[in-house]
Chains A and B, each alone.
Chain A
Amino acid sequence: MTETIARAIDRSHMQVSDEVAIQIVQMNKWYGTFHVLRDINMTVNRGERIVICGPSGSGKSTLIRCINRLEEHQAGQIVVDGTELTSDLKNIDKVRSEVGMVFQHFNLFPHLTILENCTLAPIWVRKTPKKEAEEIAMHYLRKVKIPEQANKYPGQLSGGQQQRVAIARSLCMKPRIMLFDEPTSALDPEMIKEVLDTMIELAEEGMTMLCVTHEMGFAQAVANRVIFMDQGQIVEQNEPREFFNNPKSERTKLFLSQILGH
């Protein structure tokens, strides 16, 4: 799907700094007795854009859900922005308000308008005054190019529009890291582009991004690192050109031949 990203990408702000944003050390996770994540080690620097891919059930969603503690890990260490994730609720809430997340099924709040969806967390978590929160929300809605929908309800919007609202909603919390969990998998082909464009724009501004996706065009255009996972392990990681043109492991080669085969 390389052709979906036709325009030239401005890489001037996409600098990777030495500052560590996320550090994962020897992390393991089980669902009951099933070992979903095995010995995950990974460092993400500020400004990095990482695409995680792999077959279904390989644990890629679980991995990024561990980063904001939607899933609990049982062994190892996850440090986000200098805060270690433990069962301490204060730390968890702190990390969650710094890390934005976009879901496959958008998960907008259907009983609130688009604007209310965007202002809810700033008002209640950040204690931003309502007026200011609305200004911030409108700023990000303009950025994702749907300010005119502000007073509609999520059910009245198309899938692509809903996903862009979901991105704006996360951005309203001014996160330092954004997690994307298959943001385009539930969308019609016509709408994938508008969401990817929004994500590319975000990358151009230097946002630290972790993205689980099968959009290999997006990975080639934006990512500075691609991670391939299988059976709960990181099998291969490399910068995109090398990863796609010269994969090392047999498992990666098989996977790439299957998704790029036609």
Chain B
Amino acid sequence: MSDTHAQTVPFVRDTMLPQANPPTTEAGAVRWMRENLLSGPLNVILTLLAIAAIYWVVQGMLPWLLASVWNAGSIAECRQIIADAGRESGACWAVIRERWPQFLFGFYPNHLYWRPVTALLLLFVALAPVLFSKAPRQLLWFSAIYPGLAFWLLWGGSVFVPVVALLGLALGWAAFHFGQRISPLAGVVAAILLPVLWWLFLAGPVAEDLGNLLPRSMPWWMEEVRSDKFGGFVLALTIGVSGIALSLPLGIVLALGRQSDMFLIKSLSVCFIEFIRGVPLITLLFTASLLLNYFLPPGTTFDIILRVIIMVTLFAAAYIAEVIRGGLAALPRGQYEAADALGLDYFRAQRLIILPQALKISIPGIVSTFIGMFKDTTLVVFVGLLDPLKGITDAVRASPDWKGIYWEPYIFVGAIFFIFNFSMSRYSMYLERKLKTDHR
């Protein structure tokens, strides 16, 4: 280039420089190592220490894992096999091999295992259109009826119980649709009032009568499974998935309530959020299992899993409301003003402009809350339900065959929790990337 002797003050560039490649030492693995592992004395020391730490953990665990025993009838047999092999210690996975159904299904009847499995597989089908925009939109209909279907598969009984319950929602939707023609407020009121009245007064008798009309056989009736048979991951997933699905909408409503200009709505939302966040989850679970019985009329049976789901939902919703409030606060005022200036009313502005942006900002916080809640489902052990971590593991360890086993069941349960939670975390990162449109 002719710019090399351009030290004189008047200077005109006559050719623009093309882009050039960096020197070879500044690219590839060599550069990566130098920059990330060996960039200075402190970094070199830290790298060596980290390698030592990894070595220490691996040399401790590897012999134990390598001496794994998969075929044994009891822990004594396990230890015998390990000793015969001349090893000091070894993992006894035989307990998982023998008892895995219990970890996954609790005391759910053996011949009905297909039902929770089907429910889980169908869950993925129902989730697909909700989570991925590429999935066919028609599947959303399946997602809408899935809660009823899953309920029926898990608990069995008359098909009319979930059908009648879902009818309440359909009724609410219809009421909203027609009420809107009178006035938006009438639509909202009707959409809340009608289903509640239906569930309170009509749903029970209607379901019972329909159930009695028809034979107690397959398309209308499946063998009932009571809640005390639930356990392990069937229980954790039932509570976790319902809690996640219900707490997000409730959390959004609470967050908007807290932002509202209407004093009463705002105060109610603040009180609810602060109260629920202020007490430990265990307190709420105890309230659900013990205190609620005192308040309900004697003789009412109110399913314990349902009660726990309600409490877990309220608990997560309070946290999610605060996470979403953070997202709402992060939006510039201009977004609200632009929506107003275009003539969008409150609900449309929230739905089309504010919430899509606020929820996007809140994704990491919301997913953290979900993950935390899914792990907290193990706390139901304190109200006598058999959670996978303590409930089932204790039951297994109480049997004479496996008395004294310690690490293996916890590692197994932990691994399954990890798979679910890591998937959630990965999904949230995928969603963040997909929704990134601001190019900041």
List residues of chain A with CB under 8 Å of any chain B CB: 68, 70, 89, 93-94, 96-97, 99-101, 103, 105-111, 120-121, 124-125, 153, 155-156, 169-170, 173
Enumerate chain B residues within 8 angstroms of A124, measured Cβ to Cβ.
Answer: 344, 348, 352
For the complex of A and B, list the 10 residue pairs with the smallest distance between their C-beta atoms, beginning with the closest: A97-B343, A155-B439, A107-B338, A107-B334, A121-B342, A96-B343, A101-B341, A153-B437, A155-B438, A125-B343
Measured between alpha carbons, how far is A156 from B440 in the docked complex, in Å?
9
Contact with B437, one of A99, A105, A110, A173 (Cβ below 8 angstroms): A110
Contact with A125, one of B344, B357, B360, B437 (Cβ below 8 angstroms): B344
Enumerate chain A residues within 8 angstroms of B26, measured Cβ to Cβ.
Answer: none
A111 touches B439 (CB 8 A): no
Enumerate chain B residues within 8 angstroms of A70, measured Cβ to Cβ.
Answer: 337, 340-341
Enumerate chain B residues within 8 angstroms of A89, measured Cβ to Cβ.
Answer: 345
Q: Does B290 reach chain A (CB closer than 8 Å)?
A: no
Within 8 A of A (CB), among B341-369: 341-345, 348, 352-353, 356-357, 360
Measured between alpha carbons, how far is A105 from B342 in the docked complex, in Å?
16
30 pairs from A and B in contact (CB 8 Å cutoff): A70-B337, A93-B343, A93-B345, A94-B343, A96-B341, A101-B341, A103-B334, A103-B338, A103-B341, A105-B332, A105-B334, A107-B332, A107-B338, A110-B357, A110-B438, A111-B356, A111-B437, A111-B438, A120-B344, A120-B352, A121-B343, A124-B344, A125-B342, A153-B438, A153-B439, A155-B437, A155-B438, A155-B439, A155-B440, A170-B341
Q: Given the interface contacts A96-B340, A121-B342, A124-B348, does A111 sit within 8 Å of B334 by beta carbon?
A: no
A103 touches B337 (CB 8 A): yes
CB distance from A181 to the nearest CB of B (A): 10
B337 touches A120 (CB 8 A): no
The number of residues on chain B lying at the interface, defined by a beta carbon within 8 Å of a beta carbon of chain A, is 22
Measured between alpha carbons, how far is A89 from B185 in the docked complex, in Å?
13
Enumerate chain B residues within 8 angstroms of A105, measured Cβ to Cβ.
Answer: 332, 334
Measured between alpha carbons, how far is A100 from B360 in the docked complex, in Å?
28
Enumerate chain A residues within 8 angstroms of B352, measured Cβ to Cβ.
Answer: 120, 124
Residue of B nearest to A69 (CB): B340
Residue of B nearest to A106 (CB): B334
Q: Given the interface contacts A124-B348, A153-B438, does A109 sit within 8 Å of B341 by beta carbon?
A: no
List residues of chain B with CB under 8 Å of any chain A CB: 332, 334-335, 337-338, 340-345, 348, 352-353, 356-357, 360, 435, 437-440
Measured between alpha carbons, how far is A110 from B352 in the docked complex, in Å?
12
Contact with B344, one of A99, A108, A121, A156 (Cβ below 8 angstroms): A121
Measured between alpha carbons, how far is A54 from B62 in the docked complex, in Å?
77
Measured between alpha carbons, how far is A218 from B334 in the docked complex, in Å?
25
CB distance from A156 to the nearest CB of B (A): 6
CB distance from B231 to the nearest CB of A (A): 43
Other A-B pairs beyond A103-B337, A121-B342, 18, CB < 8 Å:
A68-B341, A70-B337, A93-B343, A97-B343, A100-B341, A101-B338, A103-B341, A105-B332, A107-B332, A107-B334, A109-B335, A111-B360, A111-B437, A120-B342, A120-B344, A124-B348, A125-B343, A155-B438
CB distance from A210 to the nearest CB of B (A): 13
Measured between alpha carbons, how far is A125 from B344 in the docked complex, in Å?
6
CB distance from B180 to the nearest CB of A (A): 13
Residue of A nearest to B360 (CB): A111
CB distance from A196 to the nearest CB of B (A): 21
Measured between alpha carbons, how far is A173 from B334 in the docked complex, in Å?
19
Residue of A nearest to B348 (CB): A124
CB distance from B173 to the nearest CB of A (A): 20
CB distance from B124 to the nearest CB of A (A): 27
Measured between alpha carbons, how far is A170 from B343 in the docked complex, in Å?
11
Residue of B nearest to A104 (CB): B334
Measured between alpha carbons, how far is A124 from B439 in the docked complex, in Å?
27
Measured between alpha carbons, how far is A121 from B340 in the docked complex, in Å?
10
CB distance from A69 to the nearest CB of B (A): 8
Enumerate chain B residues within 8 angstroms of A103, measured Cβ to Cβ.
Answer: 334, 337-338, 341
B353 touches A109 (CB 8 A): yes
Enumerate chain B residues within 8 angstroms of A121, measured Cβ to Cβ.
Answer: 342-344
A173 touches B338 (CB 8 A): no
Enumerate chain A residues within 8 angstroms of B439, measured Cβ to Cβ.
Answer: 153, 155-156
Measured between alpha carbons, how far is A120 from B342 in the docked complex, in Å?
9
Enumerate chain A residues within 8 angstroms of B334, measured Cβ to Cβ.
Answer: 103, 105-107
Enumerate chain A residues within 8 angstroms of B353, measured Cβ to Cβ.
Answer: 109, 120
Enumerate chain A residues within 8 angstroms of B345, measured Cβ to Cβ.
Answer: 89, 93
CB distance from B327 to the nearest CB of A (A): 12
Residue of B nearest to A102 (CB): B341
CB distance from B266 to the nearest CB of A (A): 19
Measured between alpha carbons, how far is A124 from B350 in the docked complex, in Å?
13
Enumerate chain B residues within 8 angstroms of A153, measured Cβ to Cβ.
Answer: 437-439
Q: Given the interface contacts A120-B352, A153-B437, A153-B438, does A109 sit within 8 Å of B338 by beta carbon?
A: yes
Residue of A nearest to B343 (CB): A97
Measured between alpha carbons, how far is A196 from B357 in the docked complex, in Å?
31
A173 touches B343 (CB 8 A): yes
Enumerate chain A residues within 8 angstroms of B356, measured Cβ to Cβ.
Answer: 111
Measured between alpha carbons, how far is A68 from B357 in the docked complex, in Å?
24
Measured between alpha carbons, how far is A94 from B342 in the docked complex, in Å?
10
